[in-house]
């Protein structure tokens, strides 16, 4: 097991991938009448556990969430842990004004960490022990 330091994925690619995932969660809110909001939040929680550590957005952009210490793809457990801040932001966004500000603060804080951290690890990544890399950086199985 390697414990090397891996270069972070391109910040712009991470933002685009997350934007795609947030649009999918928002679409679920609109498309699925009675449970759409919860379906969207659930997707944000588990998204990085699919297909070898890749949400739909990460798959489209070419990124992968990994456990660098274990040299393996993140699973559903890690996805849920790492996405707690974004799921909380999504839940808060449902509350007008105060919730919108709190949601923006959470997303802004996470963005600052992605930009400023040498490995691009945000709070969710620190909690779950994950890192987002360009897909194939560790030659992990799909």
Query: Tens digit of pLDDT for each residue in 44-93?
Result: 899 999 888 999 999 999 999 999 988 899 999 999 999 999 888 888 98
2 has pLDDT over 70: no
Tell me how far apart the terminal alpha carbons of the chain are, to the nearest angstrom: 19
Whole-angstrom distance, CA of residue 51 vs CA of residue 115: 26
What is the share, in percent, of the chain residues with pLDDT greater than 90?
Answer: 64
Q: Is residue 141 part of a domain?
A: no
Q: Is residue 21 part of a domain?
A: yes
Q: Is residue 59 part of a domain?
A: yes
Q: Is residue 84 part of a domain?
A: yes
Q: Is residue 81 part of a domain?
A: yes
What is the share, in percent, of the chain residues with pLDDT greater than 70?
Answer: 94
Whole-angstrom distance, CA of residue 122 vs CA of residue 52: 20
Residue 6 CB partners (closer than 8 Å, separation 6+): 68, 119, 131, 133, 137, 138
Domain assignment of residue 104, given as a range: 11-131
Put simply, whether the predicted model's pTM sits higher than 0.75 gets the answer: yes
């Amino acid at each position: 097991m390697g414990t090397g330091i891996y270069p972070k994925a391109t910040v712009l690619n991470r933002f685009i991938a997350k934007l795609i995932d947030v649009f999918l969660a928002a679409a679920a809110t609109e498309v699925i009448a009675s449970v759409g909001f919860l379906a969207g939040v659930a997707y944000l929680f588990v998204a990085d556990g699919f297909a070898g550590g890749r949400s739909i957005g990460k798959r489209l952009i070419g990124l992968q969430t990994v456990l660098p210490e274990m040299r393996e793809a993140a699973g559903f457990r890690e996805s849920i842990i790492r996405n707690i801040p974004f799921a909380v932001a999504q839940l808060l966004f449902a509350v007008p004004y105060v919730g919108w500000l709190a949601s923006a603060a959470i997303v802004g804080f996470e963005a600052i960490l992605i930009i400023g951290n040498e490995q691009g690890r945000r709070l969710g990544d620190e909690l779950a022990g994950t890192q987002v890399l360009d897909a194939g950086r560790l030659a992990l199985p799909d």
